[in-house]
Structure 1
């Protein structure tokens, strides 16, 4: 086990904001443990917003205000839970290409991220997605081939029971990810 000390504000989500302008900012992104570039609208953000990458790295790798204890079991649990989180485009309108792990296809898929209210299943590159999610056990997963295709123009819905009910919405051919699907606790 080891300890990592990081300021609380570094764990705030990267928020695009609600104004109309576009400014390049940097914020600490926990899945990659790095300061990442993102677009900020000029208002409605939070403290995890820095003008330069150096400013972000100085704060988020600098003076600690919160201590996190991590052991290898926690990292494995966290890894599998991140990869099974839903992929969410989010309601904001700054579009950037991201990658997320899609369990029914057992691979990372590309999607368009709006810039806010996503999940941790949100990677800047396909390589980062594969590094974290490759080899995740698929206990309880169903294969797409076991479902007949829906009527032309319809959608295919799969209900997969893991720790909770996960509902994935796929295209009419059940092979392409729509822009958003949801995660539900309890009964679907």
Structure 2
């Protein structure tokens, strides 16, 4: 149990790193066109408009806000416990349990031995789906809603 919602969020969720090209500073280029483009600002952690000269510059340059946000915006992903590798445990019982398979992005059954193992261990398929699948989709939906609001 956690003392606060914030403590839970900090412990259970990871924030992916911003991709390397999104870390480059804004660079207008050395030509003189005034093409509307977007770059990801590490200061504001948002995509911002700028005028691109048409040549030179760096890869932190996107034709539209949506492309910039899709590629660069950090987002919370699945809870950390869903990323734990499958570990059947160390005892000799045979209990059907469920784990989140990161490769298939789905919940699958496995035989739990009754003790030890990882946190990626759910009593029911539904509880696995609620935490690892629906939670992920909900966070992605919230991100898209924020994007629409920004536009």
Give the structure-2-normalised TM-score: 0.42
Instruction: Give the greater-gyration-radius structure (CA).
Output: 2
Between structures 1 and 2, the one with greater helix share = 2
Give the structure-1-normalised TM-score: 0.34
